[in-house]
Chains A and B, each alone.
Chain A
Amino acid sequence: MANAADRMGHIKPPRALFVQFPRGGMLGEPRNTGRQRRILLDALHALETMTEPGTVQELPYRWKWPDPA
């Protein structure tokens, strides 16, 4: 997971999901179990489908806003 694009440029993880969430909230809001589960599923999907080392995918979720349809 990532929320600081500049640091991703230094670290170069194999695969990363980028969220515009605060530090301490990478998986979403407290007790938002649906969002937390969704982000984990996104991560597993990225693991299966990303083929280019270093790919960073930005997730569409916004803090305290409903998930996009």
Chain B
Amino acid sequence: MSFDAAEFSARYEQWAKESLSDYQAGTVERIRKTYPYVISTDVPWTPCEGNISDKTIALITSGGLYLKDSQPPFVTGEIHGDPSFRELPRDVHQDDFGIAHNHYDHSLVMEDINTIFPIDRLLELERDGIVGTVASRHYTFSYVNDVVPLISTSIPEVIGRLRDDGVDILFLVPV
């Protein structure tokens, strides 16, 4: 599916202008319904061949996670959101994380990162031989409405890193 950035931008700029006051007031349910979603015209598909136990798996979540001692938090509080991503190593721990995302209740994740980023469970599956390898690098995104920089810059960069790491399976957990 091709992405028409100009067409999206025209719709998005109108939506952002009309929605700004609701966003600033925190009444996001209405603007969520009027958001100019990019509607996919087809379904990307790669058949799964071979054994899961030979494959490399990586995680992506949009929960706004970042490494609080070494990475800047995602920008929050703006209607456009933040299209950047953070890279997380496979040996992260609960205490390493901060959360920068204003649009969901963090309490579950603060108690256990595996509710949206099941890295410990994946490492157990690797130990048990159910998956081949847990990738050395994983990725997080946060709240983003202007998807043009997301699609034109962040996503290609993440895809390149996934390919460099030989990732076969990508597990996506939205928030």
Contacts and interface: CB of A to CB of B under 8 A. Distances in A.
Interface of A: 1-2, 7, 10-14, 22-31, 33, 36-37, 39-41, 43-44, 47-48, 51, 53-54
B121 A24 contact: no
A1 B105 contact: no
Contacts, number: 94
Given A33-B121, A36-B114, A14 B175 contact: no
A30 B111 contact: yes
A44 B40 contact: no
Given A10-B40, A14-B46, A47-B52, A28 B175 contact: no
A59 B55 CA distance: 24
Interface residues of B, number: 38
Contacts of B121: 27, 33, 36-37, 40
B75 to A, nearest CB: 20
25 contacts: A10-B38, A10-B39, A11-B40, A12-B40, A13-B172, A14-B46, A22-B105, A24-B104, A24-B105, A24-B106, A24-B107, A25-B108, A26-B116, A29-B108, A29-B115, A30-B114, A33-B120, A36-B121, A37-B125, A40-B122, A40-B125, A44-B125, A47-B48, A47-B169, A48-B52
A24 B122 contact: no
A67 B68 CA distance: 35
